[in-house]
A and B are shown apart, each in its own frame.
Chain A
Amino acid sequence: MKQLFTGNEAIARGAYEAGVHFAAAYPGTPSTEILENISNYAEICAEWASNEKVALESVIGASIAGGRAMASMKHVGLNVAADPFFTFAYSGVNGGAVIITADEPGQHSAQNEQDNRNYAKAAKVPMFEPANSQECKDMVVEAYRVSEKFDCPVLIRMTTRVCHGKSIVTLGQREEVEIKDYQKNVKKYCCVPANAKLLRKNLEEKIKNLKEYAEKTPFNFAEENDNTTIGVIASGACYHYAKEAFGENASYLKLGFSFPFPDDMISDFCRKYKKIYVVEENDPLIEEHLLQLGFACHGKDLLPKYGEMTPDVIRKYFLQQEADLIDYRKESVVDRPPALCAGCPHRGFFYELGKHQDVMVSGDIGCYSLGFAKPYNAMDLLICMGGGFSIGHGAQKVFQMRKGETKRVVSVLGDSTFFHSGITSLIDVVYNNSNTVSVILDNRITGMTGHQDNPGTGYNAKGESSAMMDIEKIVRALGISHVRTINPNGLKEVRETLDTFLKLEEPSVVITKWPCALKKFSKEDKEQFAGAFTKKMKVNEEKCIGCKLCMKCGCPATHMDAQKKKMRIDAIQCVGCGVCSQVCPKEAIEWEEA
């Protein structure tokens, strides 16, 4: 049977067909849908982990115990999981283990453009690079064979277009793989130095064997066209991009298994062609390897050093060809920046926080990252997942050391981010006695990636009821005595809480607890937030003076009627959070009659 699958769906299908027993992930674009799809297969135990390191660690345990296991994450997630990743290469596996990294050439939704192929080389972990959905599925199945045959974890490197691009996949059957026997083997799994030194030595042997595999695997292949003098070497989506740009005017070497490299295959290919072009996204890894092997080539000397290497880019920089474009006037087009949704519980908090000119706001990654933008302007920095509290802590310490500096720090992050690694940052804040105000924006869901459950929601990846962590109890257990849980839609309470806590010389925590306006309510939500999002606001035109103060809430449901000079509320979008009505100086925004 054939299906149109995204790469992520195909990876999930591959896990199913390969008989995978256990899968874990932390949501992150563009990798999220891998575990979401795996969780639909009853045969696989699928879990959201609290972060990527935890996901990989549980996968390591599952593998050592004898199961086939998969961890999936976005590219920066592998930084979090790098610690176990490197040593897992030493111990090797029992049941096969595959790690999926979803890289982001062009940075469609990520804070950096790192190339995780470097991790394969650095950790000495073999790597596949699928170019389309069929390869995603096939490479997963093959990766498990490689993992078990060569006793190593295997990395599969995807990119945004492979993850979210759809192409046709031929489905196969699930191969039920028996869980292997577990034998205690401290020399293999207890990586104390005495054992790890031997494992390190063995790793060289494994890489040697994998090099032989690289020469033979059907995922590395040459496609030769007659009478061509140009040879193109590419991996991942770039293979298709290159074929689209060069067509039959070149021959191709496609590297689907790209660490360790098939040196003989590459050398044979390079010797056949006058001119060699390398097309790869992000770092020049293939290109530098060619130079090591002694072959001259063109790659990043001509192509841009960053961004996606789509066919138009290849044509422009390698072939000096550019498409005819329509020359038109687009000056009147207005930007369409993303905005917090109508009813977003972050709105009221950022509206109040943005009024504080004397604070530094240390931000984090989630929907609330939009707090940096107009009209709130309520964020100074954002570096990495879970860093909000600890980066804010370091900043506050230095502000205090500077004579005459009175700046205070407010650090913000979300509920899922708190469980991810914000919790360790908060421990640091308490342990080192910071007076930063740490804010947990608890919207009862992992919002940005499209609503995945987390340890605070009371449900697991399979949608089953689970333990529901109480953030306030956790925070108090860390030894913080100044803790308030508030509804962020009540501006007065937000204001008073911030004012009070900013005067303290001890750590304090604010938990803004109100569900995401798009969340499908659970049984518990319905009880706890009864009546939420059931009402609407409207403008009383007689009272409205058109002062536009309510626009400072940045709500997409409000707009200015330029002719009447009155505000309007879009009844379809409005869900009645009531924030705008508290901002209005004339009390012109009223509840709509039920």
Chain B
Amino acid sequence: MTKNVMLVGVGGQGIILAAKLLTQGLMEAGYDVKMSEIHGMSQRGGSVSSHIRYGDKVEGTTIAPGEADLLVSFEKMEALRELQYLKPTGTVIVNEHEMPSMPILSGDAVYPTDAVEEIQKHAKTVTLNATQMAVALGNAKVANIILLGTIIKAMGLEQIDWEAIIKENVKAEFLDMNWKAVRCGMDIVA
């Protein structure tokens, strides 16, 4: 059975790296893995998403609305925007970090206050502020790795040697912080 994990957020949040680490771990664990990204506008503050699919044999690279087992939103409002992708029985992980879009910055619209509340009404929801947690660890940039930790736990992928995967992909001096970030994320999910 193919499992579908969808990462959503804003350009520059490190979604592409998180997806790369996740898919590499899945591949090395022997799964068939496929992934799709749309990143043409990512450098210009647009929404970004990464579709990750794994199982014995995966066909297409994309996840359709209503098909994601896990929706991980790196930004709070994006979780509400993309909730349609979640299976009604699926789980949402929301980084409560807020990144106002241009209409909000310019005062033409307001940042939604009801995002998490609305999501909780419809789906199993895990909330955290990965960005604050990352700052506490010493670098706001590892928020994506904390979120990777939440995915590992939520999808029951703890048996994969993530430390080795991280070792292959990050510089030696950041290894410790990144590994702490993974553990930190794993601890959040019950």
B109 on the A face (CB < 8 A): yes
A108 on the B face (CB < 8 A): yes
Query: Contact: A367 with B44, CB < 8 Å?
Result: yes
With A166-B33, A518-B43, A558-B105 already in contact, the answer to whether A237 and B60 are too (CB < 8 A) is yes
With A324-B88, A551-B106 already in contact, the answer to whether A333 and B46 are too (CB < 8 A) is no
In chain B, what residue has the closest Cβ to A562? B107
In the A-B complex, the 7 residue pairs with the smallest Cβ-Cβ separation, listed nearest first, are A323-B66, A165-B61, A312-B64, A332-B112, A109-B40, A338-B44, A336-B101
Query: Contact: A166 with B112, CB < 8 Å?
Result: no
With A166-B33, A375-B106, A554-B102 already in contact, the answer to whether A333 and B64 are too (CB < 8 A) is no
Contact partners of B106 in chain A: CB under 8 A: 375, 548, 551, 554, 559-560
Docked Cα-Cα span, A248 to B183, in Å, equals 41
Please name 18 pairs of A and B residues whose Cβ atoms are closer than 8 Å in the assembled complex, sorted by A: A4-B35, A29-B40, A161-B61, A164-B38, A166-B23, A166-B35, A167-B35, A168-B33, A241-B60, A312-B67, A323-B64, A328-B119, A328-B121, A334-B109, A334-B112, A340-B44, A548-B107, A559-B104
Query: Contact: B112 with A370, CB < 8 Å?
Result: no
Contact partners of B77 in chain A: CB under 8 A: 333-334, 336
A240 on the B face (CB < 8 A): yes
A502 on the B face (CB < 8 A): no
Interface residues of A in 294-326 (CB under 8 A from B): 308, 310-312, 323-326
A329 on the B face (CB < 8 A): yes
Q: Is the interface of A mostly helix, strand, loop or mixed?
A: loop
Other than the given A4-B27, A244-B60, 15 more pairs (CB < 8 A) read A4-B33, A166-B36, A167-B33, A168-B32, A326-B83, A328-B80, A330-B80, A332-B112, A334-B101, A334-B112, A336-B101, A338-B45, A548-B107, A559-B104, A560-B106
Interface residues of B in 39-53 (CB under 8 A from A): 39-41, 43-47
Residues of A within 8 A of B (CB): 2, 4, 29-30, 108-109, 132, 160-161, 164-168, 237, 240-241, 243-244, 308, 310-312, 323-330, 332-341, 367, 370, 375, 450, 518, 548, 551, 554, 556, 558-560, 562
* Most chain B beta-carbon contacts within 10 A, residue among A166, A323, A558: A166
Docked Cα-Cα span, A2 to B84, in Å, equals 34
With A311-B64, A326-B122, A332-B80 already in contact, the answer to whether A108 and B102 are too (CB < 8 A) is no
With A325-B84, A334-B77 already in contact, the answer to whether A450 and B64 are too (CB < 8 A) is no
Q: How far is the CB of B53 from chain A (nearest CB, A)?
A: 10
In chain A, what residue has the closest Cβ to B92? A326
Contact partners of A336 in chain B: CB under 8 A: 10, 45-47, 77-78, 81, 101-102
Contact partners of A240 in chain B: CB under 8 A: 59-61
B5 on the A face (CB < 8 A): no
Query: Contact: A337 with B46, CB < 8 Å?
Result: yes
Docked Cα-Cα span, A337 to B41, in Å, equals 9
In chain A, what residue has the closest Cβ to B36? A165
Query: Contact: B105 with A326, CB < 8 Å?
Result: no
Contact partners of B61 in chain A: CB under 8 A: 161, 165-167, 237, 240
B157 on the A face (CB < 8 A): no
B133 on the A face (CB < 8 A): no
With A4-B27, A326-B88, A556-B102 already in contact, the answer to whether A332 and B62 are too (CB < 8 A) is no
Interface residues of B in 62-102 (CB under 8 A from A): 62, 64-67, 77-78, 80-81, 83-84, 86-88, 100-102
Docked Cα-Cα span, A2 to B23, in Å, equals 13
